Amino acid sequence: MAQPPDTSPPHSHGLLDRNAAAWIALGLIVLLTLAVWRFFDVQSEERIRDRFLHRAESTRQALVLRLQAYEQTLQGASAFFAANETVSRTDWGSYVGGLQLDRYLPGIQGTGFALLVRPEERHTHEAGVRGEGFPSYHIHPEGTREIYSSIVYMEPFGGRNLRAFGYDMYSDPVRREAMERARDTGKLALSGRVILVQETDSGIQPGFLMYLPVYRGPAADALERRASLLGFVFSPFRAHDMIGGLFAEVPRDVEIELFDHNPVAENLLFSTLTGAHTPHFVTTLDVEFGGRTWVARFSSTPFFESDAQSVEAPLILITGVTVGLMLFAVIHGNALYRRRMSIAAARLAQSRDDFRMLVESMPGVVFRTRAGPPWTVIHVSRGTQDIFDKPPEYFIKEGHTIGEFVHPDDRDRVHDIVQAAIASRTPYEVEFRVRNRLRGLRWVIARGQPNIDRSGRAKWVDGLIFDITERRAAEAAIRNLAFIDALTQLPNRRFLMDRLRQGMANSDRKQHFNALLFIDLDHFKDVNDKLGHDAGDALLIEVANRLKNSVREGDTVVRLGGDEFVVMLEDLGGSQHEAQTKTAHIADKVLVALNRPHEIGEHAVTTTPSIGYTTFRGQEVSAEELLRRADRAMYTAKEGGRNQICSLDAA
């Protein structure tokens, strides 16, 4: 089979055939694996650190947002005082209760108002509060000071908060510093670490307070603010209750230690550290709020460190070493493998040559083409010389296709059959004519099979083409014997019955009448007896020719046997009367034609026909019954004196 030149089998003399190559490859793979492992280990460490820092920053932001939420509460309380000339204890209780702080901002100890009281106003103030129903009320701690700030409103007003009623927060330097900062700036101020007066003898926690000043009127600068200061709205916080509640709401990826100002033990506000774990990651962030700085020290938890551990670096190390060992084994065995491949390639080349010899010895053409128009030839055997009068190189090197030799009348049919086979992934078989410059038109049969890849697409088409011209000629001869009368070359009885059934179906579809003429020669036996059978045969041939010339093109003339002939007429009109008229006219022509003398050798022979006919439409009766009706009509003509036409159809 003609095809492109072959490549030589692999030789076993390269570097890959030596064992040293396996050791070199193993060393390179291990070095590369260590480098990649180290790179990914560092990258993984950085990603975990970034995740930790992000978690720490998120926690810091959550703390700031919660403090800002408390600030908004105090801003609302300050606005409540600004909107009302007087705020009673009942008003304050209703306002704070409506905020539902326990529900929306848990962790707050309370929300209160501290009134600024000058020394000369103290007794009047205490008397007024006692008059409201608090007979034991007094400003505490005792002592004479230049100014007092007494907690007069505190909600919720019960429990621990009762201990703060009347407390002078100006008496404590830490609280006073925050209050004066709020007074002078007009902004919220956060106090340093304190122990709240709400604490009892047990469960004492560090605390802090938020202050927001309340003025009697507008204050543009620090002096005006001091002069018009009425008091402070404030909120005290137990650090563990407030901050612990906040951190209970976030994942424990980080531990936190929260310090007031400096990260020393005496400034510790809150801590989640519980064990002796040494954290892998630690960072410190400042929390700026209310004019004060808290220091938050974050450290990674065991859960975070175990959860964040990446398997990439260990997996790369294991995979790299494994791949190196596998590659070592592959290269180490390469020499033996390549030697075996060389032997196998030689055997394959021998098998290929044997296959070519087998293919070239086969009759016909062995081919492989592309799986789509124009069916470019990939391989083809030398049988093309016999069938197409062209060598294989004409198709492979010059790019011609087998389709160029297919007869134009057969090309579309062949194309459709091959395309359908490719689409359905099935073999095909098709017979068609090809043009041969020396031998003329030849009949061939092509059998093919599309080759399908794993994705279901056709890669190419393999097949065979055989010359079947002689077989087709033999089949035509056999077909003539089956359907053609050997003497007259007219169709025979078998052909008539098939054609009659087709005519009945066409008549039924079109609703047109057809007719059947039955013709028998009168006294034909006398011709055989007097002149011999050769003369009789010559007469039958002449009668057949006159019959074909007497009917229309497309009508069927048949020799039924002996001296009997049948003519089938089609498309005679939509009514029986019209059909009978046309049939009678054609029968008259036949009668006249057959009455003319026949020149048989040296003799002039005159013979007459007896003609019977019947018309029909559709398939109401069988073909056999129609033939019997025409036969009966013919015998009626003979009984009536011969040389005449008779019909059994109703007038």
Find the DSSP H helices in 425-560. 469-483, 493-510, 524-531, 533-550
Name the helix (H) or strand (E) containing 158: none
Backbone angles phi, psi at 291, to 5 degrees: 75, 15
Q: Which residue is it, tokens 């059978």?
A: 533
Catalytic entry in 172, 467, 520, 563: 563
Q: DSSP labels for 287-354?
A: EEETTEEEEEEEEE-HHHHHHH--SHHHHHHHHHHHHHHHHHHHHHTHHHHHHHHHHHHHHHHHHHHH
β partners of residue 235:
210
The three-state secondary structure class of 380 is strand
Residue 173: Cβ within 10 Å count? 9
CB within 8 Å of 90: residues ≥ 6 apart: none
Angle between helices 524-531 and 533-550 (to 10 degrees): 140
Q: Which of 283, 306, 277 is nearest to 52 (CA)?
A: 283
Whole-angstrom distance between the N-terminal and C-terminal Cα of the chain? 75
Give the separation between CA 462 and CA 450, rounded to whole angstroms. 6
Q: What distances in angstroms separate CA 365 from CA 352, 372, 390, 396, 516, one per listed residue? A: 18, 19, 12, 14, 50
Q: Which residues of 299-330 are buried (b: 16+ CB within 10 A; e: fewer)?
A: bbbeebbeebeeeebeebbeebbeebeeebee
Q: Cα 45 to the chain's mean position, in Å?
A: 39
- Cα dihedral sign for 464, 470, 473, 478? negative
Is 563 a residue of the active site? yes
How many CB atoms neighbour CB 392 within 10 A?
21
User: What is the amino acid identity at position 486?
Assistant: A
**Active site (catalytic) residues:** 563
